[in-house]
Structure 1
Amino acid sequence: MTRRYDAIVVGAGFGGMGAAIELKRLGLHDLLILEREDDLGGTWHVNRYPGLAVDIPSPTYSYSFEPNPHWSRLFAPGEELKRYAEHVAKKYGLRPLMRFGVTVTGARWQDDHWQVAAGGETFTARYLVTATGFLSMPRTPDIAGIESFRGEVVHTAAWKPVDLTGKRAGIIGTGATAVQLIPELARAASALTVFQRTPIWVSPKPDHPIPPRVRQLFTRLPFAQRAVRWLGNTILELMMISGVVHYKQLRVANRLAERWCRAHLHRQVRDPDLRRKLTPDYSFGCKRPTFSNDYFRTFTKPHVRLETSAVERIDEGGLVTAAGRTEIDVLVLATGFDLWDTNFPAFEVIGRDGKDLGKWWRHNRFQAYEGMTVPGFPNYLSLNSPYSYSGLSYFTTIECQMTHMRRLFTAMRSRGSTVFEVTQKANDEFLKRMRTKVTQNTVFSLGHCATAHSYYFNHHGEATLLRPTSTTSAHRAAARFPLSHYDFLV
Structure 2
Amino acid sequence: MTNRKPDYDAVIVGAGFGGMGAGIELKRQGLTDLAILEREDDLGGTWHVNHYPGLAVDIASVTYSYSFAPNPYWSRLFAPGAELKKYAEHIADQYDLRRHMEFGTAVQRAEWDDDDHLWTVYTDDGGSRTTRYLVTATGFLSQPHTPDFPGIDTFAGDIIHTTDWQDGYDFTGKRAAVIGTGATAVQLIPEIARDADALTVFQRTPIWVVPKVDFPIPAPVQNLFAKVPLTQKAARLVNTSLLEALMVFGVLHFKQTKPGNKMAALLAKAHLRAQVRDAGTRRKLTPAYDFGCKRPTFSNEYFRVFNRPNVTLQTSSIARVEPDGIVTDDGHKTMIDTLVLATGFNLWDTNFPAFQIIGREGRDLGPWWREGRFQAYEGITVPKMPNLLSLNSPYSYSGLSYFTTIEGQMRHIARLFGELRRRKADTFEVTEEANTEFLDRSTHALDSSVFYAGDCSGSRSYYFNQHGEATLLRPSSTRSTLREMETFPLDDYTYA
* Normalised TM-score (structure 1): 0.98
Give the counterpart of 2:118 among 102, 113, 117: 113
- Partner residue, 2:199: 192
State the Cα deviation string for residues 53-97 of structure 1 (Å, max 9, x = none): 001100110000000001000000000000000000000000000
Is 1:58 paired with 2:61?
yes
- The equivalent residue for 1:457 is 464
Question: For 1:347 and 1:357, how far apart are their aligned partners in 2?
Answer: 9
Alignment of 1:375-386 (within 5 A): 375-386=383-394
Tell me the secondary structure at the aligned position of residue 359 of structure 1.
Answer: helix
Q: Secondary structure at the match of 1:187?
A: helix
What is the correspondence of 1:62-141 to structure 2 with a 5 Å cutoff?
62-110=65-113, 111=115, 112-118=117-123, 119-141=125-147
Distance 1:332 1:170 in 2: 6
User: Which residue type is aligned with residue 202 of structure 1?
Assistant: V
Give yes or no for contact 2:55–2:187 (8 Å, CA) kept in 1: yes
* Stretch deviating more after TM superposition (258-267 or 173-182): 258-267
| Matched position secondary structure for 1:170 | strand
The separation in 2 between residues aligned to 1:350 and 1:166, in whole angstroms, is: 52
Contact 2:6 2:130 in 1 (8 A): yes
Q: Secondary structure of the residue that 1:109 maps to in structure 2?
A: strand
Consecutive unaligned residues of structure 2, counting only runs of 5 or more, are none
1:484 to 477, 491, 495: 491
Q: CA deviation at 1:239?
A: 2.2
Instruction: Could you tell me which runs of 5 or more consecutive residues in structure 1 were left unpaired when the two chains were aligned.
Output: none
Are 1:431 and 2:439 an aligned pair? yes
**Aligned partner of 1:279 among 269, 276, 286:** 286
SS at match of 1:127: strand
> 1:241 touches 1:392 (CA, 8 Å); kept in 2?
no
Residue 216 in structure 1 maps to residue 223 in structure 2: yes
CA–CA distance in structure 2, aligned partners of residues 239 and 128 of structure 1: 34
Name the CA distance, whole Å, in 2 between partners of 1:8 and 1:279: 46
Q: Measure, in 2, the Cα distance between the counterparts of 1:131 and 1:255.
A: 36
Residue identity over aligned pairs, in percent, reads 62
Q: 1:2 to 1:328 in 2, by over 3 A?
A: farther
- The SS at the match of 1:428 is helix
Contact 1:242 1:470 (C-alpha < 8 Å) held by counterparts: no
Kindly provide the CA deviation profile for residues 315-367 of structure 1, in whole angstroms up to 9, marking residues without a partner as x.
Answer: 01000113411001100000001111111111111111111111111122000
Partner of 1:342: 350
CA distance in 2, matches of 1:477, 1:457: 24
* AA partner of residue 284 (structure 2): K
Residue aligning to 1:312: 319
Match of 2:23 in 1: 20
Query: How far apart, in 2, do the equivalents of 1:426 and 1:247 lie?
Result: 27
Contact 2:6 2:118 in 1 (8 A): no
> Helix, strand or coil for the counterpart of 1:142?
coil
CA contact (8 A) 2:39 2:103 kept: yes
Residue 307 of structure 2 aligns to a residue whose secondary structure is: coil
Residues in 2 aligned to 1:236 and 1:3: alpha-carbon distance in whole angstroms: 43
Q: CA–CA distance in 2 between the matches of 1:12 and 1:45?
A: 10
Post-superposition Cα deviations, 1:236-282, rounded to whole Å, max 9, x if no partner, equal 11124421111111112211111111111111113211111111000
The amino acid across from 1:27 in the alignment is G
Counterpart in the other structure of 1:253: 260
- Tell me what 2:308 maps to: 301
Letter aligned with residue 271 of structure 2:
H
Rounded Cα–Cα distance in structure 1 between residues aligned with 2:475 and 2:161: 32
Deviates more, 1:165-174 or 1:354-363: 354-363
Query: Residues of 1 paired with 2:361 and 2:42: CA distance?
Result: 35
Q: Once superposed, what is the RMSD of the aligned Cα atoms?
A: 1.0
Partner amino acid, structure 2, of 1:157: T
Indicate the SS of the match to 1:174: coil
Aligned ranges for residues 221-236 of structure 1 at < 5 Å? 221-236=228-243
Kindly indicate whether residue 43 of structure 2 is the aligned counterpart of residue 4 of structure 1. Answer: no
Query: By how many angstroms is 1:2 displaced?
Result: 7.6
Q: CA deviation at 1:3?
A: 5.3
Structure 2 SS opposite 1:341: coil
1:43 aligns with 46
CA distance in structure 2 between the aligned counterparts of 1:469 and 1:321, rounded to whole angstroms: 42
SS at match of 1:331: strand
TM-score of the aligned structures, taking structure 2 as reference length: 0.97
Amino acid in structure 1 at the alignment position of 2:310: H
Letter in 2 for 1:211: P
The 3-state SS of whatever aligns with 1:166 is coil
What residue is the counterpart of 2:422 in the other structure? 414
Matched to 2:84, the amino acid is: L
Matches within 5 A, 1:391-406: 391-406=399-414
User: What code does the residue aligned with 2:95 have?
Assistant: Y
Count of residue pairs brought into register by the alignment: 488
Separation in 2, partners of 1:4, 1:127: 11
The secondary structure found in structure 2 opposite 1:299 is helix
Aligned pairs for 1:360-375 within 5 A: 360-375=368-383
**Aligned mates of 2:5, 2:411 — CA distance in 1:** 31
Letter in 2 for 1:338: N
Of 150, 160, 165, the residue aligned with 1:154 is 160
Residues 1:329 and 2:337 are matched in the alignment: yes
For 1:448 and 1:355, how far apart are their aligned partners in 2? 36
Q: Distance in 1 between matches of 2:263 and 2:244?
A: 14
| Residue 123 of structure 1: how far off its partner (Å) | 0.4
TM-fit CA distance, 1:485: 0.6
User: Structure 2 CA distance, aligned partners of 1:203 and 1:406?
Assistant: 38
State the partner residue of 2:452: 445
Q: Aligned AA for 1:156? A: T
Task: Please give the alpha-carbon distance, in whole angstroms, between the structure 2 residues aligned to 1:127 and 1:174.
Answer: 39
| 1:344-394 residue CA offsets vs partner (Å, 9 max, x unmatched) | 111111111111111111122000000000010111100000000001100
* 8 Å CA contact 1:238, 1:253 repeated in 2: no
Verify the 8 A CA contact 2:6 2:132 in the aligned structure 1.
Answer: no
Distance in 1 between the 2:171 and 2:79 partners? 25
Judge conservation of contact 1:246–1:442 (CA < 8 Å) in 2: yes
In the TM superposition, what is the alpha-carbon distance from 1:40 to its structure 2 partner? 0.2
Amino acid at match of 1:397: T
